[in-house]
């Protein structure tokens, strides 16, 4: 039995939306109207992104009683308005631009984007993104800057190794870490002017002493003063960046103090060290209630390169009761080489996989008989093999064999008559009986005309 129901639309009465750029932003404010029920008042105004203009915007929002401010995540330009309005006591939401899709066919301008964002937000069709509190923000800035400095130091170390390869110094072949105690001592001796490989090899420490012969061979090269100058500059850069990283780590330890208990619990997980625990807390905070599912976790520096925060797509598995192929590489998507590929076609074992048209497409069932990829009906006929003639490109023209011109007055070479343009007389239909009586039925096609018609 159908019953009448009255739908009431949940609308946020006083809301504002910001379309943010580098130099200015467009603010759309929507509040209830003073007239009949359901009317809305709208104000669209442009403000500068300077601090004084943003304070004026905050005063205007408080004057109109706006309860929520929504903005899109536009590069890093959203940070200053977000932090300033948040400090003024307003509820600020940062939403993903993917969730706010512009309607097709509408002109895309800053004013229209702000109005559309306000209309979507007032109907509660958006969800806020995770923006950590100020304490987590400071920790995040420190951990991300440390990761950047580690990348800079690694790049400088790679330049050092390339410079040694240019000087034919193969120290990285023998030593696993050329920036260890033994490696730094040898590099310092090279910068100081020592070129004797035996003397350089004697600078090895502990376990490196067992490789004196290999070190002597690896340190034999053509290291010049030019290489010494570049090596000294690069090592100074490495040492300076290492000192900055040590300072950052001390600052991170001071900022992580309020979250020491969470860091200790993460450190107990196998594979998660102290540094990784700091990064995890800096990226997702300590309140896991904000992320109902693993898909909502924000990807960031804590996510390994090349991976995603979303779970991997499950692979198709064989139906229960079917035998699993046993050739090497069968468990890696079939990319491995089977152990029976060297056998003839008739000697394949029984576990040979079915043909593509028999097993069906990977995204559907078997092919229809009229499909263009369906097997052809009839016996298998191999492709014809090329003859002994030379292969040539399909677009390459065959060379024209020119015949020698006969001398003047000599006999004419046998060949086809010269091509002529057919006239209407030649194109008319001839009587078959006349051709048969003239004996021209068996002549070639280019000679089926009488001498009289050829003269004309």
Q: Would you place residue 332 in the very low, low, confident or very high pLDDT band (cuts 50, 70, 90)?
A: very low
CB 135 within 8 A of CB 255: yes
pLDDT in tens, 116-155: 888 888 888 888 878 888 889 899 999 999 999 999 999 9
Task: Kindly state the DSSP code that residue 353 receives in the 8-state scheme.
Answer: P
Q: How confident is the model at residue 163 (pLDDT cuts 50, 70, 90)?
A: very high
By CB neighbour count within 10 A (0-12 exposed, 13-18 middle, 19+ buried), where does 407 fall?
exposed
Instruction: Write down the pLDDT at residue 361.
Output: 47
| Cα–Cα distance measured from residue 89 to residue 91, given in angstroms and rounded to the nearest whole number | 7
Q: For the ranges 2-6, 23-27, 231-235, which has the lowest average pLDDT?
A: 2-6
- Give yes or no for a contact between 19 and 72, defined as CB atoms under 8 angstroms apart: yes
Whether residue 305 has pLDDT greater than 80: no
Candidate ranges 226-235, 311-320, 377-386; pick with highest mean pLDDT:
226-235
- Compare 215 and 359 and report the one with higher pLDDT: 215
Q: Out of 29-43, 86-100, 210-224, 371-385, give the one with best mean pLDDT.
A: 210-224
Average pLDDT of the residues in 419-444: 55
Q: Do residues 9 and 16 touch, judged by C-beta distance below 8 A?
A: no
Residue 277 per-residue DSSP state:
H
Measure Cα distances from 111 to 25, 31, 120, 212 in Å.
9, 17, 14, 73
- Residue 191's pLDDT band (cuts 50, 70, 90): very high
Res. 108 pLDDT band, cuts 50 70 90: confident
3-state helix, strand, coil in the chain (%, to 5): 40, 5, 50
Sheet with 40-48, strands from edge to edge, namely 40-48, 24-32, 15-20, 68-72, 92-95
Q: What per-residue confidence (pLDDT) applies to 321?
A: 45
What pTM was computed for the model? Answer: 0.59
Residues linked to residue 31 through DSSP beta bridges, in sequence order: 41
Specify the pLDDT at position 164.
95
Distance CA 427, CA 429 (A): 7
Given this model, what pLDDT does residue 131 score? 84
**% of the chain surpassing 90 pLDDT:** 31
Confidence of residue 200 (pLDDT cuts 50, 70, 90): very high
Report the alpha-carbon distance of residue 439 to residue 229 in Å, rounded.
101
């Amino acid at each position: 039995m159908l019953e009448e129901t009255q739908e009431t639309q949940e609308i946020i009465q006083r809301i504002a939306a910001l379309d943010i750029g580098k130099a200015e932003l467009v603010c759309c404010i929507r509040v209830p109207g003073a007239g009949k029920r359901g009317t809305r008042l709208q104000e669209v105004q442009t403000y500068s992104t300077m601090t004084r203009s943003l304070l004026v915007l905050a005063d205007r929002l408080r004057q109109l009683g706006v309860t929520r401010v929504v903005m899109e995540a536009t590069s890093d330009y959203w940070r200053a308005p977000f932090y300033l309005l948040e400090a003024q006591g307003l509820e600020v939401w940062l939403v993903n631009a993917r969730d706010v899709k512009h309607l097709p066919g509408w002109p895309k301008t800053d004013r229209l984007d702000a109005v559309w964002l306000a209309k979507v937000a007032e109907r509660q069709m958006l969800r806020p993104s995770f923006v950590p509190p100020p304490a987590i923000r400071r920790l995040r800035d420190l951990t991300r800057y440390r990761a950047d400095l580690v990348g800079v130091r690694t790049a400088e170390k790679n330049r050092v190794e390339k410079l040694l390869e240019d000087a034919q110094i193969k120290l990285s072949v023998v030593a696993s870490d050329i920036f260890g105690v033994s490696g730094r001592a040898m590099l310092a001796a090279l910068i100081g002017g020592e070129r004797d490989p035996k003397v350089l090899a004697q600078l090895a420490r502990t376990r490196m002493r067992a490789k004196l012969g290999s070190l002597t061979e690896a340190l034999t090269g053509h290291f010049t003063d030019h290489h010494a100058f570049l090596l000294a500059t690069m090592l100074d850069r490495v040492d300076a960046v290492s000192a900055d990283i040590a300072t950052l780590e001390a600052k991170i330890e001071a900022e992580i103090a309020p979250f020491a208990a969470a860091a200790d619990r993460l450190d107990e997980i196998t594979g998660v060290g102290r540094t990784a625990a700091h990064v995890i807390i800096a990226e997702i905070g300590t309140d896991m209630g904000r992320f109902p599912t693993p898909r909502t976790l924000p990807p960031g520096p804590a996510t390994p390169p090349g991976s995603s925060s979303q779970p991997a797509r499950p692979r198709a598995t064989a139906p229960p009761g079917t035998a699993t192929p046993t050739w090497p590489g069968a468990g890696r998507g079939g990319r491995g080489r089977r152990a029976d590929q060297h056998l003839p076609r008739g000697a394949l074992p029984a576990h040979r996989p079915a043909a593509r048209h028999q097993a069906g497409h990977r995204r559907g069932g078997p092919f229809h008989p009229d499909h263009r990829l369906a097997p052809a009906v009839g016996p298998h006929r191999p492709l014809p093999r090329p003859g002994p003639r030379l292969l040539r490109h399909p677009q390459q023209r065959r060379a024209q064999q020119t015949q020698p011109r006969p001398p003047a007055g000599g006999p004419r070479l046998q060949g086809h008559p010269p091509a002529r343009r057919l006239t209407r007389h030649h194109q008319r239909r001839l009587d078959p009986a006349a051709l048969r009586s003239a004996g021209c039925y068996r002549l070639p096609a280019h000679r089926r005309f009488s001498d009289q018609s050829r003269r004309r």
